[in-house]
Structure 1
Amino acid sequence: MTTTKRSPNRHHCVAILLAVGSAAFGVQPAMAQAKYPDRPVRLVVPFPPGGTSDISARVLAEALAKELGQPVVVENKAGAGGSVGARYVAEAKPDGYTLLLGTTSTNGTNSAVYKNLPFDAVKSFTPITRILTVPGALSVNKKFPAANYQEFAALVKTSPGKFSYASSGNGGATHLAMEYYKTLSGMRVVHIPYRGTGPALNDVIAGQVDMIYDTLASSMPHIKSGAIVPMAIASPARLKELPNVPTFAELGLPRANEGFWNGVLAPAGLPPEVLKPLHSAIVAALKTPLVREKFAAAGALPVSDTPEAFTKIIADDVEKWSTLARNGGITAE
């Protein structure tokens, strides 16, 4: 008896060919990677709750969650001037699910004043965009014998070493910003470091120290109450809240006209297919009325960059602050 072989079903053959072709090109629908994001995103704040960075992170997280369609959870990992949280993110998987709320300190001044940071401010991260800048303000106590910057500058320049300024601590961003201003203006004032912005401001208000260079976010309540008097601000333009206070650029010191920034960074090696939608979502969130209004209430100005531009900003900051710290012998240790 002769057995006749049946021809394979045509549809069955097509299925086999498609499966082989998919395997050959690495396309396996059942195992395809899910589109980013498919689960909650963590935004690490490397400082304690309550400060400008923490507030800005929580405001951004609320708006960003709507853009991404996934929860954005803020986690505070404070310590070592922000280095603990920054290291945590630098060592995380570069998949877009662990992000850093970086600052002028974590990815700028810390590189200048700490000798053995466990990460590189530029190479260990994928910068995505800044989200805000906070103007710096040079203010004096209300007893200081100057009504404006011109009178202030004339008095300080003719009395080198007589006057003092407070900072939140050795090697902090406001300390280095004041030292940078000193190199540009040629003024000589004595540094008195404190353990935090609060105690520093309190002694300036009390008249124990003559002046302070601080973020406007911290200084504004005391400026409004008349406890301290602003001489100049580091801002792109005069602020509507302080229309009579000049910018450093107006005073002939354009290089001192840079405020402090917050931005979002991911671990190094973030793939383009994650970076692009994440960047777009953050920029969209920054344009929402919610973010703009709450940032303004905190004394901050919304801003966004391309990842390439943000990378250059960080690299330039590290170089600037490192040169300043090296020339001035400034450390935080």
Structure 2
Amino acid sequence: MTPSTPHTSRRLAGLALALAGAFAALPGLAQSGFPDKPVRLVVPFPPGGTSDISGRVLADALSRELGQPVIVENKAGAGGSVGARYVAESKADGYTLLLGTTSTNGTNSAVYKNLPFDAVKSFTPITRILEVPGVLSVNKNFPAKTYADFAKLVGQSPGKYVYASSGNGGATHMAMEYYKSLSGMRVVHVPYRGTGPALNDVIGGQVDMIYDTLASSMPHIKAGNLVPLALATPQRVKDLPDVPTFAELGLKSANDGFWNGVLAPAGLPADVLKTLHGAIVRALRTQAVQEKFAAAGAIVVEDTPAAFAKIIADDVAKWKKVAQDNRISAD
């Protein structure tokens, strides 16, 4: 056996370092052993809403995929901006994530003048997890029961009819204003403090119509208190086969629903991003997640991080134009 020499030892040590560097550079090989402790998923809204429900469904399935607990934390306020800021200012190590929405990383950028974070630059997008269709509905006593009759009636009396929203500058308000700009319909906005009060007054007949998420409007549609006219969704909804999509009505640009997605702080390491993206996608493909999202009126979606980043950038640009054109702002 050839005895070791100082020169040989140095060569072996150098080879070991080179091999270690090569393995560390391999894509997808988690250098940090991520995750080795619980992960927090910040839901920037109060418990009980669509985002909170979807976040908890995902967290349960994601815990199994990651082999670590995924703990939901509700940090509500300012239309989701409080929770979004918290995540934006957190360490980019994969242990603090945001359940982002059309509001937190879209419409809020357009209506809040001094957000303490950038909806695009302050985050690492991982993937959307679901899309909730939007729906334009009228109360059961409204004289028009189809979109064609609605368009004719409203078009003949600009400014006569009113619509409710969950609040000034909210995602549903912005979506309705975007629809108005595309269709030429002139209806008056009545903002409420939340979806519940807005729905109550539409159902009660004090307000003519509402643009809402299908998830919160569907029970009232099934009860016969709301009449759906058009849906913002890729295809018709199984439970509402006679209701057309906006795309079918020639309003393709108004056909986007409201999304939820998972984001991390900007600067997330590539290996951690790959681990999280793979685990979330696997969780989304489980039967339990798909069934629970469907029960909430949501459609499961998944994106590459790059595709999700483009969706956010495009949304921010779109909503900023809507806000500017309609002079919409929030405190």
TM-score range, shorter chain: over 0.9
Counterpart residue identity of residue 126, structure 2: I
CA contact (8 A) 2:31 2:271 kept: no
Matches within 5 A, 1:242-321: 242-321=240-319
Find runs of 4+ consecutive structure 1 residues off by over 3 angstroms. 9-27
Counterpart residue identity of residue 192, structure 2: Y
Distance (Å, rounded) in 1 between the aligned partners of 2:8 and 2:136: 75
Counterpart residue identity of residue 133, structure 2: P
Matches within 5 A, 1:161-176: 161-176=159-174
Farther-moved stretch of structure 1 (105-114 vs 244-253): 244-253
> How far off its partner does 1:171 sit?
0.3
Q: 1:67 aligns with which of 65, 68, 86?
A: 65
Distance (Å, rounded) in 1 between the aligned partners of 2:283 and 2:12: 42
Counterpart residue identity of residue 170, structure 1: N
2:78: which partner in 1? 80
Q: 1:110 aligns with which of 85, 108, 111?
A: 108
CA contact (8 A) 2:140 2:227 kept: yes
Distance 1:24 1:148, change over 3 A: closer
Fraction of identical pairs, as percent: 75
Distance (Å, rounded) in 1 between the aligned partners of 2:278 and 2:220: 37
> How far off its partner does 1:34 sit?
3.5
Gaps of 5+ in 1: 1-8
Q: 1:123 aligns with which of 121, 125, 129?
A: 121
1:328: which partner in 2? 326
2:223: which partner in 1? 225
Deviation per CA, 1:245-290: give whole Å up to 9, x if none: 1111111111110100000000000111111111011111100000
SS at match of 1:116: coil
2:41: which partner in 1? 43
Counterpart residue identity of residue 231, structure 1: L
Deviation per CA, 1:12-53: give whole Å up to 9, x if none: 9977865576568887xxxx9541111111100000000000
Q: 1:92 aligns with which of 84, 90, 93?
A: 90
TM-score normalised by structure 2 residue count: 0.93
Distance 1:177 1:17, change over 3 A: same
SS at match of 1:138: strand
**Pairwise CA RMSD of aligned residues?**
2.0
Deviation per CA, 1:155-214: give whole Å up to 9, x if none: 000000000000011000000000000000000000000000000000000000000000
2:195: which partner in 1? 197
Deviation per CA, 1:115-150: give whole Å up to 9, x if none: 000000000000010000000000000000012110
Distance (Å, rounded) in 2 between the aligned partners of 1:202 and 1:18: 76
Distance (Å, rounded) in 1 between the aligned partners of 2:172 and 2:115: 20
Distance (Å, rounded) in 2 between the aligned partners of 1:91 and 1:268: 9
SS at match of 2:238: coil
Distance (Å, rounded) in 2 between the aligned partners of 1:243 and 1:228: 16
Distance (Å, rounded) in 2 between the aligned partners of 1:250 and 1:261: 21
Matched, 1:178 2:150: no
Distance (Å, rounded) in 2 between the aligned partners of 1:16 and 1:39: 37
1:4: which partner in 2? none
Gaps of 5+ in 2: 22-29
Distance (Å, rounded) in 2 between the aligned partners of 1:239 and 1:215: 13
Counterpart residue identity of residue 122, structure 1: V
Distance (Å, rounded) in 2 between the aligned partners of 1:140 and 1:150: 13
1:5: which partner in 2? none
Distance (Å, rounded) in 1 between the aligned partners of 2:125 and 2:4: 53
Counterpart residue identity of residue 164, structure 1: V
Distance (Å, rounded) in 2 between the aligned partners of 1:11 and 1:67: 48
TM-score normalised by structure 1 residue count: 0.93
2:232: which partner in 1? 234
